[in-house]
Structure 1
Amino acid sequence: MHLNFWTTSCIKANFPYNPFSHPFRIYGIEMLSQVYSKLDDLAIPSFMLFLGDFIYIDVPLQFGSAIKHYRDEYQKVYASPSWHTGKNPAINLPWIHMLDDHEIQNDWHDGNVTEPYPAAIDPYHHYHVSVNPPKAKSPHASQENTTYFSFTRGPASFFILDSRTYRSPPGLDNSTMLGYAQLQSLLDYISCPEPAPVKWKIISSSVPFTKNWHIGTSDTWGGYLKERQILLEAMWRAERTLGTRIVLLSGDRHEFAATKFPNPATKQIDSTSSSLSKGEGQGIYEFCAGPLNQFYLPSSSYYQTDDEDVTIKYIPNGNFKFGAVGIEIHPDGGSDLTYTLYVNSEAVWQYKLSMPSYIKAGEAEFPDGEEVFDLVSRPKGKLDMGVLMFWRGLYWLNSQVSTLVEGVNGLILKKERLDE
């Protein structure tokens, strides 16, 4: 038994801006097609798990917040010529969607009744919720009002969060990202035993679970640490008692990072030991990937500050990134999950998590993850960070100017239409 799927986030058409290109061109989607065409049959993904920011209603400028304006943005993405190039048909890859802020408004945390949420959610429901897997029945909320859901595919079950609709402002004692009903539904999912063939629980969040990003931290789970701790304790407990591995997938940051959250109860090393930086001991792994087609930040904002969030890998560069997840069940009952990061259509890094056949519920102790290959390691010798930051800053400035030019052109075209 095996399962392959892809995951990424964040789309802005024609970025980096090219005045000679189709205005709806999405280079990242073209790269997906390139990679797909070269895969062996056994590596073909079953679906794309898209982790939010399918549209950018507010980039470069927001022209309105009526239902029509939001629908227009979805239609632009779906009208892109990049879905099929030349005479080639679009690749047969279903997309499963979750909500993030740019489908509503940047860093949205004002609930589900405040404007512009009602207008923003209308096309999201029509274009994405309507074709997502069915919403599971929950004793904590009425089904018609929920926008989170779960499903099972082969050796893995999935819980897809809604981290925007129910969240409150961050940084308070009672701050919640999920709301009561969704939190209870997620805790039920984490603690529930899976059927024998299911070896993995995949939890998808539109924003990073780690607090290692130090720009915009409050918009991530770093702004909701009490709720995060409740979930971490539940996941640590479930891995050991159920004998099922739990993996977190996230997006939003326009960068890639792999992070481990070690379980303090299973660390067998002194807190001053250098081996702690490697994340030894039991723990939950997170893989955060993006963008599929957007800018990346000119300065590194992800770094480890304590032993709670342990850095496995950080890859900031690249306008076009996605992750390929592969799960295999071996004849002896063991299982492996591999995560391969693609940047600009090239596989540059791979990591493997294992679940040996001898793992038993109630006493599960999983081996550490293993790096399979790394093609983006820093070069040997001294790296001149000043030069690196200069060029990254110059590239970022160029991309921002291009975005501004695109916005001005859009305003001119809009005025011309109004004058007609």
Structure 2
Amino acid sequence: MANLGYAQAAVSTAFRAVAYVFLEVIPHSAAKYVLSVLYVAYLVLYSLQPPPALEPTTKEEHSNGEAKVPFPTEDTTKELVETKTESEDSKPLPSIPTPAEESSSLTALLLSLPTPSRPLRLANLFINTLLAAAALEFITYPYFDDAAGVVYTRVGAVYPDAAKIVVRYPGLVGFNQTNATVQLAWRQVPKSGAVESDVWKDGPSALLSEELDWVNTVKLSSLWPSTTYEYTLRDANKTQLPYPSSPIRFRTFPDPYLNSGVNFRFLASSCIVPNFPYTPLQGRTIKGFDLLADYLWPKNTPGKFTMPPPSTSTPTPAETESADESAAGTSALDQPEPTAAPVFSVNAQTVEPVASKAPTEFMIFMGDFIYADVPIYYGDDKEAYRRLYRRNYQSPSFRKVYERLPFIHTYDDHEIINNYAGHSNDSSPPFANANDAFALYNAQGNYDSSQQGEHYYDFRHGDVAFFVMDTRRHRSIIEETDEPSRTMLGEQQLTALYDWLGRVNNTATFKFIVSSVPFTGLWTYEGEYETWNGFQYEKASLLNALHTVPNVILLSGDRHEFAAIEFPSANPARTVYEISTSPLSMFYIPLIRTLKKQSEDVINRTKEVVNVLEDGTTETVIVTEEVPQEKVLKYIADGNYKWSSIEVDTRDRQNPVANIDIIIDGKNAYSLTIRGEPVKLSPSMALGAYVPQSFKGVLGKIGLNPSSWF
């Protein structure tokens, strides 16, 4: 029986260790099977254990069970009297467990060691059952809370003269009806102190249907560049709907043809799973978004920027005046943020503070917005995928960010299935149903692709250009394709990327390229086939092209770690940088490091060195040096909650700057300044640059919309 007890202890300890890893470290899908087997084995062993033995009695008993009382003698009587006297003189203190006994009990509780104590055995059973219940809640939560009734709206792609608005509003139809209509009402938000005279205007209508899960995306057009707007929702009878309780605000992007320079921030990260690391009964919480909201809009604490409280009333369409902007619900677009931490300057090799209050205007989510296969694969059908998207939009953590900040997306493997490679075969399951959900909830709110139905796209914010890749749909299956023939992007997307590089080379200052997976080949575990490292020919060709374009910065995610990488070229001014940041709210692996410091391959780079001669004159010498083809600037693996806050400032044409703050667990962990190369941009072709602002207003009053001209 002793061996049985130790077998039970071993199984119990293994169960607890696996449960801890599954709930707090990494929610690997295989854990559900291991936990089930271990818990059942523990229960079987527990039931086979004999009950704790009763303590033996020290009293002699009759055959009928009554204690035998010896006949009193003179000696025993004297002994009883003496014992009674001693007990009356000094009463003994109650017994207290010794440290050894306490340690023994604690060890038995922690390691489930065999113990004769019935309370300890029951406590062990209770602990293991709680852990099993926690794992079960974490796994099955989306089934019991499918978020079918979630109502939300958000801003997606923003243009100089338009914005895409995503709406989900079930519950507006009667019995047996399968569609409904929601109309946008919008207006321009006046600047502080101005008087608003425009009524709410009728915007586009979104047709919602049960077939499309009551979700639709519309485009609000005829807007002015660099202007703040707000919108609310009405039903088909133009009656104000209860949601949103306050109008949703956004700011249009600046006119890209004015060439006046910009100063703004945007965010980038990837990978979220609600309630991980696990906390009981918090299935809707996404802590990374809670931290992000606190970062963007700090609470009213001393030493931090404070903002006015949001508006609690929703203006009706009949209202003709807006509340002052400083008293209304204030978005991230209208508010400065805390001063950034000191930064490390790449080119100058100095440490300097950067005081920045540029507004955060949007977030690029770089994939793994849902985990269709973690902790379990929920099935290859539309509802299984849609449920996970609804669950995220239902989260109060996410809601307080997406209602105030535009989001644009790309996807990675976990929106489909782990390590997915599409090989340009859309008919191969599970792509079709996974793509349906991604398109419905996220992609339709993105910028339009140059090819209908594709998920790669480009856009601009002033003189800053972006290209967002699709690294999954057209990726070759490595096991089935020879290295020279492999492609990450597919011929059509690669052509679009090269075309974009040619267009923005001299028309944009900074160029950001978004890849859901890292471009660098320095990551080891799975990096050989999951990152660009498995596509060496295409990567080398693309990198050569990037080195001919000034001020290229790659953004990536996927690895659940942070790394800043540089890719030097023969021209020191044409270094390409990669900022890889994830997860926003997911696991990381403690103690294990998977990134090499630099590549073994080197390149020859020339640079000018100024020498001072003995006579005081100087001479310039061209020196050739070998440098790694890829090199780590900074690597931080730890942290469940990571994102990049990137500030771009191109107002000084000769000194464009990108300031990058890496926020981990809500705190600034690393800062990097990338000083760009001056770019002589093409002359402005915007009609708006030559039309007085007052004249634009006159044209608008007579029904003309000059904003559509540029």
| TM-score normalized with structure 1 length | 0.75
1:56 equivalent to 2:371? Answer yes
- Distance change >3 Å, CA 127–CA 206, structure 1 → 2: same
Hey, what does 2:411 align to over in structure 1? Answer: 99
Hey, what does 1:418 align to over in structure 2? Answer: none
How far does residue 194 in structure 1 lie from its aligned partner after superposition?
5.1
Residues in 2 aligned to 1:194 and 1:281: alpha-carbon distance in whole angstroms: 15
Residues in 2 aligned to 1:158 and 1:33: alpha-carbon distance in whole angstroms: 24
- Opposite residue 350 of structure 1, the aligned amino acid is S
Highest CA radius of gyration, 1 or 2? 2
- Specify which of 629, 637, 642 is matched with residue 308 of structure 1: 629
- Distance change >3 Å, CA 356–CA 282, structure 1 → 2: closer
1:168-217 Cα deviation digits (max 9, x unpaired)? 11363311110000011111111224565x31111000000001100011
Hey, what does 2:302 align to over in structure 1? Answer: none
- Specify which of 56, 76, 79 is matched with residue 394 of structure 2: 79
Matches within 5 A, 1:10-21: 10-20=271-281
Hey, what does 2:580 align to over in structure 1? Answer: 288
- Does the aligned pair in 2 maintain the 1:261–1:283 contact within 8 Å? yes
Matches within 5 A, 1:389-404: none
- Does the aligned pair in 2 maintain the 1:191–1:234 contact within 8 Å? no
Hey, what does 1:36 align to over in structure 2? Answer: 296
- Opposite residue 29 of structure 1, the aligned amino acid is F
Identity %: 33
- Opposite residue 223 of structure 1, the aligned amino acid is G
- Does the aligned pair in 2 maintain the 1:2–1:154 contact within 8 Å? no
1:345 equivalent to 2:666? Answer yes
- Specify which of 259, 275, 283 is matched with residue 23 of structure 1: 283
1:213 equivalent to 2:523? Answer yes
Name the SS of the counterpart of 2:634 in structure 1.
strand
Residues in 1 aligned to 2:465 and 2:677: alpha-carbon distance in whole angstroms: 18
- Does the aligned pair in 2 maintain the 1:33–1:91 contact within 8 Å? no
Hey, what does 1:146 align to over in structure 2? Answer: 454
- Does the aligned pair in 1 maintain the 2:276–2:286 contact within 8 Å? yes
- Does the aligned pair in 1 maintain the 2:548–2:574 contact within 8 Å? no
- Opposite residue 277 of structure 2, the aligned amino acid is P
How far does residue 19 in structure 1 lie from its aligned partner after superposition?
1.6
Hey, what does 1:324 align to over in structure 2? Answer: 645
- Does the aligned pair in 1 maintain the 2:505–2:549 contact within 8 Å? no
- Specify which of 553, 559, 563 is matched with residue 253 of structure 1: 559
- Does the aligned pair in 1 maintain the 2:565–2:579 contact within 8 Å? yes
How far does residue 305 in structure 1 lie from its aligned partner after superposition?
3.4
Q: Mean Cα displacement is larger for which, 330-339 or 229-238?
A: 330-339
- Does the aligned pair in 2 maintain the 1:36–1:44 contact within 8 Å? no
How far does residue 167 in structure 1 lie from its aligned partner after superposition?
0.7
Unmatched 5+ residue regions in structure 1? 138-142, 240-244, 267-279, 362-420
How far does residue 114 in structure 1 lie from its aligned partner after superposition?
0.8
| TM-score normalized with structure 2 length | 0.45
- Does the aligned pair in 2 maintain the 1:3–1:155 contact within 8 Å? no
Residues in 2 aligned to 1:25 and 1:311: alpha-carbon distance in whole angstroms: 34
Residues in 1 aligned to 2:264 and 2:463: alpha-carbon distance in whole angstroms: 7
Residues in 2 aligned to 1:80 and 1:165: alpha-carbon distance in whole angstroms: 28
1:307-364 Cα deviation digits (max 9, x unpaired)? 221111100000000000000123454310011100011111110111254x669xxx
How far does residue 281 in structure 1 lie from its aligned partner after superposition?
6.5
Hey, what does 2:433 align to over in structure 1? Answer: 119
Residues in 2 aligned to 1:297 and 1:186: alpha-carbon distance in whole angstroms: 34
How far does residue 282 in structure 1 lie from its aligned partner after superposition?
3.6
Residues in 1 aligned to 2:630 and 2:468: alpha-carbon distance in whole angstroms: 22
- Specify which of 440, 445, 467 is matched with residue 131 of structure 1: 445
Hey, what does 2:148 align to over in structure 1? Answer: none
Name the SS of the counterpart of 1:311 in structure 2.
strand
Residues in 2 aligned to 1:90 and 1:3: alpha-carbon distance in whole angstroms: 18
- Opposite residue 280 of structure 2, the aligned amino acid is P
Hey, what does 2:353 align to over in structure 1? Answer: none
Name the SS of the counterpart of 1:30 in structure 2.
helix
Matches within 5 A, 1:356-395: 357=678
- Opposite residue 37 of structure 1, the aligned amino acid is W
Residues in 2 aligned to 1:91 and 1:75: alpha-carbon distance in whole angstroms: 15
Hey, what does 1:368 align to over in structure 2? Answer: none
- Opposite residue 290 of structure 1, the aligned amino acid is S
Q: Mean Cα displacement is larger for which, 30-39 or 99-108?
A: 30-39
- Distance change >3 Å, CA 186–CA 73, structure 1 → 2: same
Residues in 1 aligned to 2:280 and 2:391: alpha-carbon distance in whole angstroms: 17
Matches within 5 A, 1:189-208: 189-193=500-504, 196=507, 198-208=508-518
How far does residue 83 in structure 1 lie from its aligned partner after superposition?
2.7
How far does residue 84 in structure 1 lie from its aligned partner after superposition?
4.8
1:50-71 Cα deviation digits (max 9, x unpaired)? 0000000000111211111000
Residues in 2 aligned to 1:281 and 1:133: alpha-carbon distance in whole angstroms: 31
1:204-243 Cα deviation digits (max 9, x unpaired)? 000000011000111100111111011101111223xxxx
Residues in 1 aligned to 2:488 and 2:286: alpha-carbon distance in whole angstroms: 31
Higher relative contact order (CA 8 A, sep 6+): 1
How many correspondences in the alignment? Answer: 330
Name the SS of the counterpart of 1:257 in structure 2.
strand
Unmatched 5+ residue regions in structure 2? 1-261, 299-304, 306-334, 337-356, 601-627, 682-710
Residues in 2 aligned to 1:27 and 1:317: alpha-carbon distance in whole angstroms: 16
1:229 equivalent to 2:229? Answer no
- Does the aligned pair in 1 maintain the 2:660–2:671 contact within 8 Å? yes
- Opposite residue 144 of structure 1, the aligned amino acid is Q
- Does the aligned pair in 1 maintain the 2:268–2:643 contact within 8 Å? yes
- Distance change >3 Å, CA 259–CA 118, structure 1 → 2: same
Residues in 2 aligned to 1:286 and 1:78: alpha-carbon distance in whole angstroms: 30
1:71-116 Cα deviation digits (max 9, x unpaired)? 011111111121357xxx8651111100100000001013322100
How far does residue 28 in structure 1 lie from its aligned partner after superposition?
0.1
- Opposite residue 292 of structure 1, the aligned amino acid is L
How far does residue 11 in structure 1 lie from its aligned partner after superposition?
0.4
- Distance change >3 Å, CA 63–CA 330, structure 1 → 2: closer
- Distance change >3 Å, CA 90–CA 5, structure 1 → 2: closer
- Opposite residue 287 of structure 1, the aligned amino acid is I
Hey, what does 2:263 align to over in structure 1? Answer: 2
Hey, what does 1:167 align to over in structure 2? Answer: 475
Residues in 2 aligned to 1:134 and 1:108: alpha-carbon distance in whole angstroms: 24
- Does the aligned pair in 1 maintain the 2:465–2:504 contact within 8 Å? no
Residues in 1 aligned to 2:369 and 2:504: alpha-carbon distance in whole angstroms: 33
Name the SS of the counterpart of 1:226 in structure 2.
helix
Residues in 2 aligned to 1:160 and 1:8: alpha-carbon distance in whole angstroms: 13
